[in-house]
Structure 1
Amino acid sequence: MLKELRSALVLFAALAFLTGLIYPLAVTGLATSIFPDEAQGSLIERDGKVVGSQLIGQFFTSDRYFHGRPSATLGPDPADPAKTAPQPYNAVNSMGSNLGPTNKALVERVAGDVAKLKSENPGAPVPIDLVTTTGSGLDPDISPEAALFQVPRVAKARNLDEGTLRALIGKHTDARLFGVLGEPRVNVLALNLALDGAAAK
């Protein structure tokens, strides 16, 4: 009995050491050496200060900036910590809304968003990704169509030429991976940082 117990404990300790310490350190070291930027969170820096990540969206509300997709992430309610409240792009609580297409709250929220967007750009159809959330609630990208839809609002707020903004969007549009995987996309944070740079010039 003691012999079997000793063997089991030795095996447990060896496997815990290998899989709990050696393997994670080896994978982390390999990832850091091959993909240093991605292993550190794909952080974006400006003037030596981290302003965000390429992988996690940010909540832009000013008319002077391009807006990302709606986010359904939640966090503690400041008024009552026992409850939750909307906290867009809360990376600690990645989640979708889990609301179905017949849910009254979802239908009202989408209808309100569509009406607001139509008032900003009356002649154009509203891109679906500007009114729907993703499963993670953290998506940093929008479609080129969603970015182009926002051009009139941003151009008016910044007193910039719409053609300049369209060119900026084209410059920051990432194509399909290997030409076939995924869809063309625009990273909202990168676009807004470029927008600030262009406006400063």
Structure 2
Amino acid sequence: MNYSVLISSMLLIYVSLFILNLLKIRSTDKLLNLITMTEKEEKGIYKRIPIGIQAPKFELIDFKGNLHNFSNLRRPLVLLIVNNNCSACSLDKWEFEKYAKTNRNLDFVLVVNSSKDLRPEDENLEVQTTNYRILKGNIDFLKKFNVKEYPTFIVINQDNRIVGYPVVTDNIDYYSKKLAFEN
């Protein structure tokens, strides 16, 4: 076996992992999603609601059957929309939950498309924190927010305007500081 080829391959893998870690992207699926999302936006295939535009009103239910509408949720608000077929979503859900526990100045809403996206401990977390909700998404909601890719983050400010689309959970810190500066 040629050791120089082996060493070169190992070095390439190490550098790739290092770059992914720097970007806080721990899933190649997520990296591919980001690349295709950017290409789609550039080509005009996928249009998000422009930043600064009023967020659409919505009504969603939780898994206990309680109705939650947009006007009753506290602001600023961070939405994470996930799909049970999305392999990159599980890491974001875990980080989102962790972030909600430590950031009381924002409200966090996890929007899932089915009960398959939930774990038994999710219900306990929702009860323990006052700034975290888990709601069941529907087609109307996805259309209003033009959700085409998963996971999708949306940050909404006090004035109900969309202020950003974080790429990963760690980007929420930036928006948290930006929102604090607005107030």
**TM-score when scaled to structure 1?**
0.29
Task: Compare CA radii of gyration and give the structure with the larger one.
Answer: 1
- Of structures 1 and 2, the one with the larger relative CO (CA 8 A, separation 6+) is 2
